[in-house]
Amino acid sequence: MSSKVKFYSKEFSSRLLIGSALYPSPKIMQDAIKAAGSEIVTVSVRRESAGGKTGDAFWSLIRELKVTVLPNTAGCKSVREAVTTAKLARELFNSSWIKLEVIADDETLQPDVVGLVEAANILIKDGFEVFPYCTEDLSVAMKLVDAGCKVVMPWASPIGSARGIVNRDALKLLRQRLPDITLVVDAGIGAPSHAAEALELGYDAVLLNTAIAKANDPVAMGNAFRLAVEAGRAGFESGLMGARDFASPSTPVVGTPFWHAVS
């Protein structure tokens, strides 16, 4: 890729963040992450804290990849639960990074944006570097930035839906209004083209899990997403042409000779 992406004080070459759940086997998980070239992997704090020997084995597999771990508060439904889980993550992983999730609805897994902002405020004051999972709402994103978040992670569409970006204009507005914030499209990415579109909009990275883990060939799909993210970012940095409402010939006709049949 042509440039690096910064998450708080750390820089990375890959703009593809990957989740570690749902893979057919630990070996396939490792191979898919390697094929994707991802340098940051999200890990569920709940699985690690409740996994016993299984959790220890999983953590060993993650360490072998030599990636940066981004623990998350997946499944938390209250501010108190999310804050407690984040503090546990800091002890388990010896990291101030936390992907903050506070879920409002079991069916859509939509974030509780009020609770999210409250939890972010608490954690940032406690020294955490917060990666908040939110909707594409500008006012929520601005409140998270005001709280001290230097990374904001709006969804493309609900988690696991594979619908891709459903509110393109809102995501474009977020990018325009928060030019100095690292923005990551998180959730709803179902195809490499969805990831490329997010990077073409100027987003700094994408985070996904299901689209790779549940593919017929997760390793090949990991590679496909790697290429898509690289292409999307290269397109953005090269300067994409704007869409038009009218045709514009690619071959000029001025000065071009025309032949007419002679009867």
Q: Which tens digits make up the pLDDT trace of 121-169?
A: 999 999 999 999 999 999 999 999 999 999 999 999 998 899 999 999 9
Q: Is 63 left (phi over 0), alpha (psi -120 to 50) or beta?
A: alpha
61 confidence band (pLDDT: 50, 70, 90):
confident
Distance between CA 143 and CA 135 in Å, rounded? 12
Distance between CA 180 and CA 111 in Å, rounded? 23
Mean pLDDT of the chain: 89
Give 196-252 pLDDT, tens digit per residue. 999 999 999 999 999 999 999 999 999 999 999 999 999 999 987 777 766 766 666
Output DSSP code: residue 242: P
20, pLDDT greater than 60: yes
Buried b (16+ CB within 10 A) or exposed e, 158-173: bbbbbebbebeebbee
Distance between CA 7 and CA 129 in Å, rounded? 9
Q: Are 256 and 217 in contact (CB under 8 A)?
A: no
Give 158-197 pLDDT, tens digit per residue. 988 999 999 999 999 999 999 999 999 999 999 999 999 9
Which residues 6+ apart lie within 8 Å of 128 measured at CB? 86, 90, 96, 97, 98
Average of per-residue pLDDT across 33-50: 83
For residue 142, what are its two tokens? 């601005």
Which residues 6+ apart lie within 8 Å of 244 measured at CB? none
| Residue 56 pLDDT | 65
- Is 99 an annotated catalytic residue? yes
- Which residue stretches of the chain are H helix? 26-36, 45-50, 52-64, 79-93, 113-125, 138-147, 168-177, 192-200, 210-213, 218-238
The type of residue at 12 is: F
For the CA atoms of the chain, what is the radius of gyration? 21
The type of residue at 206 is: V
pTM of the predicted model, to two decimals?
0.87
54 confidence band (pLDDT: 50, 70, 90):
low
| Residue 1 pLDDT | 43
Catalytic option among 4, 66, 99, 125: 99
Average of per-residue pLDDT across 65-89: 93
